[in-house]
Chains A and B, each alone.
Chain A
Amino acid sequence: MSTMNSGGMSAGGGSSRGGRSWPSTTSVSSSGKRIQKEMADLNMDPPSDCSAGPKGDNLYHWVATIIGPPGTPYQGGIFFLDITFPSDYPFNPPKKSGLQVVFKTRIYHCNVDSTGTVSLDILKDGWSPALTISKVLLAVRSIFTTPDQCNPVIPGISRLYLADRAKHDELAAEWTLRFAR
C-alpha cells in the first residue's frame, strides 16, 4: 500500500492547524455537510456489495470496498479504493480533476490504469453535483461486469477483451485471485 500521497491535495492549508491535515469538521462548510450526509445515508442504506467510509478523522478522504460481482472474472475478490473529495465537492469543475477514485488493489481492467486510477466519464466531464459516492461506487461496480470499451486507459486489455474474451477473463480472474483475496 502506498502512502497517502493524494490526501494532502484536498486538505488545502489545514496542516497548520494542530497537525491535522484537513478542514476541521467543526466549521461546517457546505461540502463537509454534504459529505457527512452521504456518510449517514451510506450507513443507513449501503449499496449492494459496496461499503465506504472516511479513512480516519478526515472527512475528505475515504476508503471504499467493492466485492467482485458474481458471474465476472472478478468474482470473490475484495477491491479496496481510495476516494478523495475536492474541497468544493459536489461542485467539481469538469475540466479539473474532481472526485478521485483510485484502486488500491491491483486489478486487470481496461478502465483502470497502472496507478489504479479509475477513468470514468462521470468522474470527469460527466460529473454532476447530483451524483453521490454511492452512485459512483455503483458505476465502478458496473464496469466490472461491462468494461467501458469506448475510452479505455489501457488499450491492450480492451483489444484483448474484444478479440479473445476467454483469455481476457482468464487473466482477470488470475489477477483477482492473486491480489484481491
Chain B
Amino acid sequence: MLTNEPNPEKSPPKEPEASENGEKIESMFSPGFRSVAAMAGWDEEAILVASLVVEDTPDRDFKQKKRSDLPSKTPPSNSRRKRRAQKRSPVLVAMPVLDLGEDETSTKENTNTDEQKKAESEKKMIESKTNTNEEKKAESEKKMIESKTNNGEEKKTGEKELTASSSTLPCMDRLREELSCAICLEICFEPSTTACGHSFCKKCLRSAAEKCGKRCPKCRQLISNGRSCTVNTVLWNTIQLLFPQEIEARKATAKASNSRETDHKSPPPPRGISHYNVRNRSIQALNSPEDERIQSTRRVGNTYHEGRNHIVGPPGIASRGDEVNVRRRRRRVPGQDEDAALALRLQREEFMEVFRGSDDQYNGSVSLARENLRAMASRAMNIRIRGRPS
C-alpha cells in the first residue's frame, strides 16, 4: 500500500488534482457510484449532464474546504498514519488533562465571579431598597440563587476530586471488606453477580459451581451457569477505581499465569485476520509481518470504535496499565462532541482516500474511466450545442 510506508512522492499528486478542477469532475465518479447510478436507472450521460448543470454542489465545496484544511493542519509529514496520530493525540490524549485544568481554573473563576455577583447583588439590593425597583430585586435574587447553586456544585466537585485523589478514606476498610470475594477473600477480580445478588470473582464462582454444585456459596440458592459468567461491569469499574494497585497486581499475576499456560499450547492465531478482505490479504502476503501489523492498525483505524483503542501507541506494545489509563482517560472525555468530530474526520479521510485513487491497481481502471467520461462529455457538449436553438 502506498500509504503505509513513508513516501515523499505522495503529497505531490494531490496538488494537481486540486488545481485542475476540470479533470477532477471526470474522475469524481468512482466505479461504485456509477454502478449504483446504473441501478437507479441513470445512464452515464445523465450523470454527467447533471454534474455539469449542478456544478457547484455543496459536496464539492465541502471537499475543497477539506483540501485546503489538510495541508495547513498537517505540515510535511510523511506517512498517513503519523498524520492521524498527530491529529488524534491532541484531542483524545491531552484533552482530559486540559479539561481538569480548565475545570479547576474555571471553578476558581466561578468563585471569583460569584463573589463579584454577590457584591453586585448586594449593592443592587441596597439600590432596590432606595429605589424600590422590583425588577432589579428579582434579578439580584436570581443571581443570588445562581451563585448559591454554583457554590454547591463546586463543593460537590471538590469532594469528588478528594475521593479520586486520596485513596485513604475512613471507610476504606469497610469498602475493602464489602468488595472482597467470599471465596478467595481478596478484592473481587472481575466480579460476577448471582441471581440472588451475591458477587464473587468470576473465576471463583465458576470453580465453586464446578466443584461444589450450582448453588450460591453465600445463600445456597440455585444459580444458573450461564448467568454466572457475566461480569458486573459497574461493580468491576468501581473496584478498579477504588483499588487500582491491588487490581494491577492481580492482573499482572493473571497475565503471567496465562502466558505460562498458553506457552504450552499452540500459539494464538494472528489477530483480526477475519477483518481483511481478499484484496488486503493478497497484499499482506507480499509484505513482511511488521508491515502487516502497521497495515492492520491502519485498516482497523478506519473503523471508528477500534480506532480509539490505538490512541496510545502500536498494539502489543501498550502495557495493561496503559490500557487502564486509557480507559480512565476515556471516561473523563466529555464524550459525544469529541466522538462525533472524530467520526466525521475519519469519514472524511475515507472519502479522500477513495477519491484520490491511492491504490495502484485502480489507476488503470480510473484512467480508462476518465477516457470514457471525457469522450462522453465532449459528446454531451456537442449535443447541447447542436440542440440549442440558434
Contact = CB atoms under 8 A, between A and B. Distances in A.
Interface in A104-130: 127-130
B207 A33 contact: no
Interface in A40-55: 41
A91 B211 contact: yes
Q: What class of interface size applies to chain B in its complex with A?
A: 10 to 19
B213 A130 contact: no
Contact of A90 (B183, B215, B218): B183
B67 to A, nearest CB: 61
A126 B348 CA distance: 64
Interface string B205-248: 00110111101011010000000000000000000000000000
Contact of B182 (A33, A92, A130): A130
A33 B250 CA distance: 13
A129 B182 contact: yes
B212 A93 contact: yes
B185 A37 contact: yes
A128 B184 contact: no
A98 B58 CA distance: 77
Contacts of A38: 185
Nearest to B210: A91
Contacts of B208: 91, 129
Interface string A59-103: 000000000000000000000000000001011111000000000
Contact of B212 (A30, A34, A37, A127): A127
B186 A129 contact: no
Contacts of A33: 184, 186
Nearest to B215: A128
A107 to B, nearest CB: 29
B183 A37 contact: no
B183 A94 contact: no
B204 interface: yes
A-B pairs, top 3 by smallest CB distance, nearest first, are A130-B182, A130-B217, A91-B211
